[in-house]
Amino acid sequence: MHQYKLVMSDLDDTLLSSTKTISKGNKQAIDNLVKHGIQFIPTTGRFLKGIPDELFEHPEIEYMVSSNGSQITNIKTHEIIYQQLIDFDLVLNIIELAINKAVNIILVCDDKIIIDERIFEHRDQESSSFLKRILEYGYAASDIIEAAKEHKHNIKKIDLGFEDLDFRNELYERLKAYANINVVSSHFSNIEITSAHASKGNALNFLANYLNLDTDKIFAIGDNDNDISMLQNAGFSVAMDNASEHVKSHSNAVTDHHDMDGFAKAIDKYVIV
């Protein structure tokens, strides 16, 4: 009998390679998990529809954690089984603090993504596959504050991107002091904000209760600051070789780089044994 009953994995820079694809080895590792009766749950900062189609199409993947734990969805029944929203007064406050310096502002709602249209003024972001995917399920707003007001009762996550890293770092520390939000980062130039009750770690705890599992039966793997709560709450956790030393310090072990099938190697070494 296998020690772990559930594997929760981050996507970007963990399961996915630098080309944002799932390698053959990692696909085989997922198939191996479900073959042995171990659930696999993608756990990401991405919005739900930003998760790769091949994971939606996998016949044995039932649940997905999106927006840094703000939402858990049963993708077979399309039921949202867990969600946490950001208080709207805080949403406005955060946008107002960031709007003059942020090169992008993204609001994640129930089934819609709203982006500040100024994002298209910076670099080649308009041509990125990620932004194209966002625009499939949302729209670019000329006035992000007015757009936020139209969706005031269902904003789950705010993504902020900056070129001015000094300002980004100052704002990050300022927001960390707020009591009612959770502030993390998945890239040195961004800030990701959710409700204080939303985190990958809280999603893990909810799923343990929902699926009637002890947390020591849950294996977690990730690479960035937004994964730390999940790594801490799991029965056993692994950080990627490409993770920061800070993230590695919160995990039980370290696997290979995400471009070297580190996910698959961790599954083979620690889960399928």
Please provide the average confidence, as pLDDT, over all residues in the chain.
93
- Provide the residue type at 50 as one letter: G
Fold classification of 88-195 is: 3.30.1240
Euclidean distance between the first and the last CA atom of the chain, given in angstroms as a whole number: 9
- Provide the residue type at 198 as one letter: A
In this structure, are strands 253-254 and 236-239 parallel, antiparallel, or unpaired?
parallel
CA R_g for the chain: 18
Percent of the chain's residues with pLDDT above 90: 85
Tokens of 174: 């300022």
Question: Predicted confidence band at 135 (pLDDT cuts at 50, 70, 90)?
Answer: confident
Cα separation of 85 and 108, whole Å? 10
Tokens of 112: 């819609």
Cα separation of 211 and 62, whole Å? 12
Specify which residues 102 forms β-bridges with.
162
- Average pLDDT for 42-70: 95
Model confidence pLDDT, tens digit, residues 203-222: 999 999 999 999 999 999 99
Domain-wise residue ranges, the chain: 6-83+199-271, 88-195
Would you state the pLDDT for residue 124? 55
Cβ(94)–Cβ(175) below 8 Å: yes
Tokens of 85: 């929203």
Which CATH number applies to 6-83+199-271: 2.60.40.1840, 3.40.50.12160, 3.30.420.40, 3.40.50.1000? Answer: 3.40.50.1000
- Interacting residues of 187 by C-beta distance below 8 A, sequence separation 6+: 224
Helix, coil or strand: residue 221: strand
